[in-house]
Structure 1
Amino acid sequence: MTARSALRRYMLVSFLTWLPLGLMAAVMVLLMTDRGLSLTQIGLAVTVFSVVTVSLELPTGGLADVIGRRMVLAASAVFTAAALALMSVSTTFGMFLVTCVIKGVARALSSGPATSWYVDTLHELEGEDADLKPGLARGGALESVAMCAGVLVGGAVPLLVPPGTITPLAVPPLLGAVAAVVLLVVVVFALPEPAHARRSLGSVLREVPSTVVGGIRLAAGGAVLRRLMLAAAASGVLLMTIELLTPGRLAELAGTSERGSLAYAVVAALGYAASATGSAIAPRVARLAGGSARGAAMGAVLCALSVGSLAATAGLDGVPGLVTAGLAYLVMFAGLSVTGLLCLEMQHNAVSAAERTTVTSTSSLSLQAGGVLANSTLGVLAGQAGASAAWWVASGVVLASALLFVAMPRPGVTGSSRVPVLPERSCSG
């Protein structure tokens, strides 16, 4: 296998991993509502998904580091296909809860193994000093392209389904299940992995906890990783605030819930396109800024300014309000992708292959923890003081996170393991 071949396979897997989620996201809430669920029940189902995902992030990351990336990715594809197929036929609250549990397992399993596979393969082909930014940028861009395409197709397909054949809103999840099956085939046949020694199930289960504990200690004890985990939490605060408040804001500006739903679908698709653009230009931003840490800081500042503009223009109505909100949304996602991609590169350069997926799961856990914090605080703040107040707070959090990249220690190689190496001036993170 060549580096170019590995990149093509990584990009394909990245696209197929997120395409089912994009297809589902366009109609998920509408399908639950159509099947008789209340908003409270829908919120509880989404909470169950989040709890399952957070609970399994580290164990599944450790499992991938023990038994291999390909096997865990294949399991994720199986769970995704099962969850979306079940969602399409679910008619009760209990069935949707089961669907969300299975989705949570799939999401946790998919967190990190594909990226870890690509990084390990590139290191094997080109050495430990291989430039990760171009490949990671293309993979991140394809993830965003998949979400953009999925949202647009998933939103349009129900309008094309002949009446009386099948519930139109059930078709996008079924298409997502088919895409997950395609992902399974690609993972099994297109992601070769060095053979692992045969181990019993008991030995695997005994090794996963120690791998997880090692990953946590590495993330907490290393100056680079500790800062990156805090940056991920700040991104989680930002994303949850946007997801909570943007739909209502657009509905208010559009005049009706139906128009607001359409406006949000279009803006979300454009946001994913902006995210793909941000991932694609991240290497160039890093070169212009003089390093990945400085480039990540620039992305964070851009995010903070865009969310601040949302808060500052909250009083605008009609078309001016829609335009300013849409532009802020696009700039925010582009900046967020620049920061996220460069953080991902720094993260992978700071760990060895043995802990790679575990640390990636720790980062995902930090992101979701930031989201939970925002959900429990900024949502209440928005209800009492308005959306602009919550956006100002989120903007301040992200702006403060840019300071995490100042004098960032550089990862280096010591022996067989990549560990954080502090510069001459001590820098506690």
Structure 2
Amino acid sequence: MTARSALRRYLLVSFLTWLPLGLMMASMVLLMTERGLSVAQVGLAMTVFGIVTVGLELPTGGLADVVGRRVVLAAAAAFLVAGLALMSMSTTFWMFLASVVLKGVARALSSGPATSWYVDTLHEIEGRDADLKPGLARGGAMESAALCLGVLAGGCLPLLVPSWLMFPLAAPSLAGAVAAAVLLVVVLLALPEPAHARRSLSGVLREVPVTVVAGVRLATGAPVLRRLMLAAASSGVVLVSIELLTPGRLAQLAGAAEAGGMAYAVVAALGFAGSAAGSALAPRAARLAGGSARGAIAGTVLTALSVGALAATAGLGGASGLMTAALGYVVLFAGLAVTSLLSLEMTHNAVTAAERTTVTSTSSLSLQSGGIVANLTFGALAAQAGVAAAWAVAAAVMLASALLFVRMPVATDSSRARVPRARSHSG
């Protein structure tokens, strides 16, 4: 396999991984409420999804490091097919709850293995000094493009499906299940990886916890990774502050919940487009800034300024308020994509294949932990002091996180070797 072939396969898998999620994004809550769930039940279902994803993040990352990337990605696709198909047919709270549990398992399984497969393959072809930025940038752009196209297609699909044929709001979830089935086939056929030593079930059960412990120890003990985990948590704070407060802000600007929902769908698609552009521009940002760490500082500052601009214009109304919100959203996600992409590159350069997916899962867990903190605090802060105050705090958190990239330590082969490793129990 050549580096170009590996990149094509990675880009295809990246696109197909996120397309099903984009397709169901616009209609999911509406589907639940139209089939009889209360707002409280929808919130409970989403909370269960988050708990399942967070709870399985590290074990599934360790599993991918032990049994291989392709097996775990295929399992993720299979769980996603089942979850989305069940969601399209669900009529009760318990059916919807089962569907979000399946989706949570799929989300945890899919967190990291595709990128780890690409990095491992590129290192095998070009050596550990291979430049990861171009491939990771294009992968991030493909993920954002999939979400952008998916959310627009998922929003239009219910309008195109005749009501006599099927329940229109179920069409996006069913289309997502089909896309996930395509992903399953592609993963099985297009992601070859070196054969792993055959392990018994008891061997796998012993080795996964050891790998998880070693990966977490590495993420919290290595200076580079410790800073990157804190940066991920800061990004989680900003992301949730935007996702939590933007729908209500847009509904207020549009004058009605329905119009606000449509405005949010358009703004979300624009945000994904901005994220795709930021991912594509990240390598150039690193070159212009003089390195990945400096490029990440630039992306972090741009993100903080964008959130600050949202806070400063929170008092505007009408069309001017909508325009400034949309522009701020696009620039924010572009800056955040630059920081995330360059942080991902630095993370992969600081680890070896033995704990690669576990460490990237730890980074994802850090981002979600920051989001949990924001969920618990920013809603109350916005209710007491206003949306502008909440966004101002988020901007300050993001701006402060830029200091984490100042004089960033450089991981070397010797520093990686000093980190405690998991012992293999397979032989």
Give the corresponding residue for 1:244: 244
Cα deviations across residues 325-374 of structure 1 (Å, max 9, x unaligned)? 11000000000000000000000000010000000000000000000000
* Matching of residues 3-152 of structure 1 within 5 Å: 3-152=3-152
Report what 2:301 is aligned to: 301
**Cα distance, 1:386 vs. partner?**
1.1
Q: 1:158-307 counterparts in 2 under 5 A?
A: 158-307=158-307
Deviation digits for residues 275-312 of structure 1, max 9, x if unmatched?
Answer: 00000000000000000001001101101000001111
Letter in 1 for 2:197: A
Per-residue deviation, residues 171-203 of structure 1 (Å, max 9, x unmatched): 000000000010000000100000001110110
* 1:419 positional shift: 6.8
Q: Runs of 5+ in structure 1 lacking a partner?
A: 421-429
CA shift, 1:418, in A, is: 9.2
Three-state SS of the structure 2 residue aligned to 1:253 is: helix
Aligned partners of 1:224 and 1:333: how far apart in 2? 24
Question: What is the CA–CA distance in structure 1 between the aligned matches of 2:246 and 2:416, rounded to whole Å?
Answer: 47
User: Which structure 2 segments of 5+ residues have no match?
Assistant: 421-427
For the 8 Å contact 2:278–2:337, the answer to whether it is kept is yes
Deviation digits for residues 215-234 of structure 1 (CA, Å, limit 9, x no counterpart): 01000100000000000000
**TM superposition shift of 1:417:** 4.7
User: SS of the counterpart of 2:348?
Assistant: helix
CA–CA distance in structure 1, aligned partners of residues 94 and 327 of structure 2: 40
- The one-letter code of the counterpart of 2:263 is A
Judge conservation of contact 2:350–2:416 (CA < 8 Å) in 1: no
Deviation (angstroms), 1:414: 2.4
Q: Does the CA contact (< 8 Å) of 1:412 and 1:419 recur in 2?
A: no
Amino acid at match of 1:18: W
Measured at CA, do residues 329 and 415 of structure 1 come closer, stay the same or move farther in structure 2, by a change above 3 Å? closer
TM-score, length-scaled by structure 1: 0.97
- Whether the aligned pair in 1 keeps the contact of 2:84 and 2:174 (CA below 8 Å) is yes
**Secondary structure in 1 aligned to 2:192?**
coil
CA distance in 1, matches of 2:417, 2:129: 13
Q: In the TM superposition, what is the alpha-carbon distance from 1:415 to its structure 2 partner?
A: 8.9
Are 2:350 and 1:337 equivalent residues in the alignment?
Answer: no
CA contact (8 A) 2:152 2:265 kept: yes
SS in 1 for 2:91: coil
Query: Alignment length, in residue pairs?
Result: 420
Q: Distance in 2 between matches of 1:416 and 1:141?
A: 29
Q: Secondary structure at the match of 2:36?
A: coil
Match of 2:371 in 1: 371
Distance in 2 (CA, whole Å) between partners of 1:197 and 1:52 is 29
1:48 & 1:415 partners in 2: Cα distance? Answer: 39
Match of 1:156?
A: 156
Distance 1:57 1:95 in 2: 23
Residues 32, 418 of structure 1: alpha-carbon distance in 2 compared, 3 angstrom cutoff: farther
Partner Cα separation in structure 1 for residue 257 and residue 344 of structure 2: 37
Residues 10 and 139 of structure 1 are in contact (CA less than 8 Å); yes or no, is this contact kept in structure 2? yes
Q: Which residue of 1 aligns with 2:423?
A: none
The equivalences for 1:341-420 within 5 A come to 341-414=341-414, 417=417
SS of residue paired to 1:311: helix
The one-character-per-residue Cα deviations of 1:224-267 (angstroms, maximum 9, x if unpaired) are 00000000000100111101100010110011111111110001
CA contact 2:231–2:401 (8 Å) conserved in 1: yes
- What does residue 427 of structure 1 align with? none
Secondary structure at the aligned position of 2:413 is classed as: strand
Within 2, Cα distance between the matches of 1:166 and 1:245? 33
Residues 264 and 376 of structure 1, relative CA distance in 2, 3 Å threshold: same
Counterpart CA distance in 2 for 1:145 and 1:89 is 28
Give the share of equivalent positions with the same residue, in percent: 75
- Residue aligned with 2:177, SS: helix
Structure 2 CA distance for aligned equivalents of residues 343 and 246 of structure 1: 26
- 2 CA distance for matches of 1:215 and 1:175? 36
Distance 1:202 1:71 in 2: 18
- Other-structure match for 2:425: none
CA distance in 2, matches of 1:70, 1:403: 37
| In structure 1, C-alpha distance between the alignment counterparts of 2:159 and 2:355, rounded to whole Å | 46
Regions of 4+ moved over 2 Å: 414-420
* Cα distance change, pair 370–416 in 1 and its aligned pair in 2 (3 A): closer
Could you tell me how far 1:383 is from its partner in structure 2? 1.2
**Residue 416 (structure 1) shift:** 8.1
From the superposition, tell whether residues 337 and 299 of structure 1 become closer, same or farther in structure 2 (CA, over 3 Å): same
Cα pair distance change 1:384/1:415, threshold 3 Å = closer
Give the letter aligned to residue 103 of structure 2: K
What's the offset of the Cα at 1:144? 0.2
Amino acid corresponding to residue 307 of structure 1 in structure 2: V
Q: Which residue of 2 aligns with 1:327?
A: 327
Which residue type is aligned with residue 29 of structure 2?
V
Deviation digits for residues 63-102 of structure 1, max 9, x if unmatched?
0000000000000000000000000011111111111111
CA RMSD of aligned residues (A): 1.2
The alignment partner of 1:282 has SS state of helix
